[in-house]
Homo-oligomer: A and B are copies of this chain.
């Protein structure tokens, strides 16, 4: 069965961006030749889900959205969006979207945030795996990965790996309640 996998970075204090959406602190762990497993991870996915704000943030930064060319790409938005090749803007029921995707053959489904989409998926227990890279910094404030207000989720550690840059990548999978 295809899995929905959250693959994301956060600061030790749980933020994915500053209040002003700055993510330049991610450069703390930039290292020539080190991708923290990203290429291996993306080799196992063919579908990409992201929130509108994150989508617009990427577009604003690099004037492109490369995921649209690589994956079956869904941008979740409550707003009317200008059409863009390779992207489905989705304003419907999240459970139906994920159920529909899982009924089809395919690789895993990559969720790239942000916090609102993570909350939306968690509200319905739809995240199967969490791959979280903890960046060695404390931002103090900002946009949270876990916004709170979701049901509890039972998870199990799959692996944990510390890199010499100080990044710690933890992987968990959803489990059924005991």
Interface residues of A (CB under 8 A from B): 12-14, 122, 130, 132, 134, 136-142, 144-146, 148-157, 159-160, 162, 166-168, 170, 172
Contacts and interface: CB of A to CB of B under 8 A. Distances in A.
Contact of A166 (B130, B132, B142, B156): B156
A148 B140 contact: yes
B150 A140 contact: yes
Nearest to A146: B13
Contacts of A13: 14, 145-146, 148
A157 B166 contact: yes
A166 B167 CA distance: 18
Contact of A137 (B139, B155, B167): B155
A155 B172 CA distance: 25
A91 to B, nearest CB: 25
Contacts of A148: 13, 140-142, 144
Contacts of A167: 157
A132 B12 contact: yes
27 contacts: A12-B132, A12-B146, A12-B155, A12-B172, A13-B14, A14-B14, A14-B144, A122-B138, A122-B140, A134-B170, A136-B172, A137-B153, A138-B146, A138-B152, A138-B153, A138-B154, A140-B148, A140-B151, A140-B153, A141-B148, A141-B149, A141-B150, A142-B148, A144-B148, A160-B162, A168-B168, A168-B170
A71 B150 CA distance: 39
